Amino acid sequence: MLKLLIATNNPGKMVEIQALLSERELELLTPAQLCIELEVVEDGNTYAENALLKGRAFASASGMITLADDSGLEVDALGGQPGLHSARYGHRPGATDADRRQLLLERLGEQPRPWRARFCCWVAVVAPDGEAQLVEGVCVGEIIPEERGQNGFGYDPIFLIPELGKSMAELSLVEKNRLSHRARAVKAALPLIEKYLTDLL
């Protein structure tokens, strides 16, 4: 079976990607399974640059075709914040996802609603020699002032999908993998993954 390294140790992200690629004849591996410990400095100016940084670092270290992503939440009322800093919003050591959601709502404060927002994701498919291809996925919605749902992670409980009337955290994995930013990016990357892996045969 062909092997693909997923450049993350985030369990929530891994569950989503495994479900998206479940119909492919692929063995999906994480850096932890390969005992690869890398601290990649994500100092790119865009999601695409950060995805490439991670993808190239892990592809080089593993010698494997690697899928890496970088994503973020952009809120119009905050000028696109937290954006690239979504996973480290507030820069407080030890901050949790719940802390970051609370900070976001505090900063929105009395801004008039709706608080329009979008999740953005860029996926890089990278060969061991550094050759790479990039694709993007976007999911448009709005921020709500109360948390709803128990699924997902990150900002999912306060991100509403208006046409469904549900937060991202109220969606089943099947629903989320139909319309999320990551799902759209990974699906767009499938032909690239298959091409890179086929070239290895």
| Residues that are catalytic | 70
Q: Which strands form 115-126's sheet, in the order they lie side by side?
A: 26-29, 2-6, 66-75, 115-126, 132-143, 159-161, 166-167
Peptide bond into 114 cis (omega under 30): yes
Per the CB < 8 A criterion, the answer to whether 182 and 137 are in contact is: yes
| Sequence-separated (6 or more) residues with CB below 8 Å from residue 68 | 6, 7, 8, 51, 52, 54, 55, 58, 123, 124, 126
Tell me the pairing of strands 159-161 and 166-167: antiparallel
